[in-house]
């Protein structure tokens, strides 16, 4: 149980965690989730009398309420039945430690082969497709990521392929200006694939490093959306045979299980390679990260932890575990 034991050692003073800027942001961003999760766990343990079936039913309900997902909650509860027996855990703190340890172990096991980094090509054009419903922060995330890459010295272009809404094109242009990168666009209502083709030609002509493509998010007409994304993919692969190099699904963490429904639908519509989780700092339901990994088998690659242009950061699983569970471990760190 690598990271769980490391956390316990940190709060016993036996081990140190390097406090980086990204760890501080994650720690601060998970404050609502941590308080909510800790409160739920405290309420569960306050009603604890013995490790019986009533307790496991309460645990399952608590985990579902924390948005760790129905399947994940069932799995944790089933595995804990065995674990608690093996340990002969009877005291509340022993049982709580077993619960947190099981959450961490499932998280680590599911992500063992996972690639959390956004994959960029060296000395070649990288094409990253962004998908997701309207209003989740897709365009904002594209603008923030474009700004980061430009600050790293990369030549970045944006493609406004959400041509269904004129507002989406205008919003991307505004973010392009903020990030200091150019936006390739067509008229509202024009063919999204043609905009992507123009952007690819421009990117190759200008020897751009990265092309970030915004797309429409009309899930109510999934068949049409699927065909549109397939056409965009065909255009990209015709010009860049191994592209797109990433298909990032943007979901709003504050929408909880609704975000999971969206993720499942988009995963059916296109080959999603990773998740961008926005507004993680604005929710008390950060357990959704566990559900995404366990139930969808998709890595979270980027997280939004604020409104600023610098508040989108790479997702580090260890920082997430630290930020989510540290207070539960603190309370029992000396047991």
Q: Is 134 annotated as a binding residue?
A: yes
Q: Parallel, antiparallel, or unpaired for β 246-252 and 210-214? A: unpaired
Kindly write down the DSSP assignment for every residue of 242-304, as one continuous string: T--SEEEEEEEGGGTHHHHHHHHHHHHHS---EEEEE-GGG-S-TTHHHHHHHHH---EEEEE
Q: Is 150 annotated as a binding residue?
A: no
If you search the block for the tokens 């299980």, which residue do you land on?
A: 257
Between CA 183 and CA 58 the distance in angstroms is 51
Q: Is 214 annotated as a binding residue?
A: yes
Q: Is 42 annotated as a binding residue?
A: no
CB 262 within 8 A of CB 250: no
Q: Is 216 annotated as a binding residue?
A: yes
Q: Could you tell me how far CA 240 lies from the centroid of its own chain?
A: 27
Q: Is 281 annotated as a binding residue?
A: yes
Q: Is 218 annotated as a binding residue?
A: yes
Q: Is 139 annotated as a binding residue?
A: yes
Q: How buried is residue 109: exposed, middle or buried, by Cβ count under 10 Å (0-12/13-18/19+)?
A: exposed
Between CA 186 and CA 202 the distance in angstroms is 13
Between CA 117 and CA 196 the distance in angstroms is 24
First to last CA, the chain: 16
CB 272 within 8 A of CB 298: yes
Q: Is 137 annotated as a binding residue?
A: yes
Name the 3-class secondary structure at 81.
helix
Q: Is 136 annotated as a binding residue?
A: yes
Q: Is 250 annotated as a binding residue?
A: no
If you search the block for the tokens 């674990």, which residue do you land on?
A: 83
Q: Is 138 annotated as a binding residue?
A: yes
Q: Is 289 annotated as a binding residue?
A: no
Annotation: binding site: 132-139, 214-218, 278-281
Annotation: binding site for GTP: 132-139, 214-218, 278-281
């Amino acid at each position: 149980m690598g990271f769980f034991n490391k956390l316990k050692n940190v709060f016993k003073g036996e081990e140190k965690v390097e406090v980086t800027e990204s760890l501080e942001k994650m720690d601060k961003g998970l404050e609502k989730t941590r308080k909510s999760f800790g409160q739920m766990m405290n309420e569960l343990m306050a009603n604890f009398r013995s490790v019986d079936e009533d307790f496991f039913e309460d645990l399952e309900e608590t985990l579902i309420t924390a948005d760790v997902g129905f399947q994940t909650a069932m799995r944790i509860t089933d595995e804990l039945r065995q674990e608690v027996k093996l340990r002969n855990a009877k005291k509340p703190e022993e049982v709580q430690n077993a619960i947190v340890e099981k959450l961490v172990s499932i998280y680590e096991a599911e992500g063992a082969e996972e690639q959390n980094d956004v994959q960029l090509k060296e000395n070649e054009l990288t094409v990253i497709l962004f998908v997701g419903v309207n209003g989740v922060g897709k365009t904002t995330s594209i603008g923030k990521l474009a700004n980061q890459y430009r600050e790293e010295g990369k030549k970045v272009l944006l493609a406004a392929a959400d041509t269904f809404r004129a507002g989406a094109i205008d919003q991307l242009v505004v973010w392009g200006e903020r990030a200091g990168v150019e936006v390739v666009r067509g008229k509202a209502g024009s063919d999204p694939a043609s905009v992507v083709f123009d952007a690819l030609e421009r990117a190759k002509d200008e020897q751009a490093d990265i092309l970030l493509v915004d797309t429409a998010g009309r899930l109510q007409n999934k068949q049409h959306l699927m065909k549109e994304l397939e056409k965009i993919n065909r255009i990209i692969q015709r010009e860049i045979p191994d592209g797109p190099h990433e298909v990032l699904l943007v979901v709003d963490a504050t929408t909880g299980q609704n975000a999971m429904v969206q993720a499942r639908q988009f995963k059916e519509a296109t080959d999603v390679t990773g998740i961008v989780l926005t507004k993680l700092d604005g929710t008390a339901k950060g357990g959704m990260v566990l559900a995404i990994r366990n139930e969808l088998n998709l890595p979270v690659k980027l997280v939004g932890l604020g409104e600023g242009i610098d508040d989108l950061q790479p997702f580090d699983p260890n920082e997430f575990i630290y930020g989510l569970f540290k207070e539960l471990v603190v309370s029992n760190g000396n047991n």
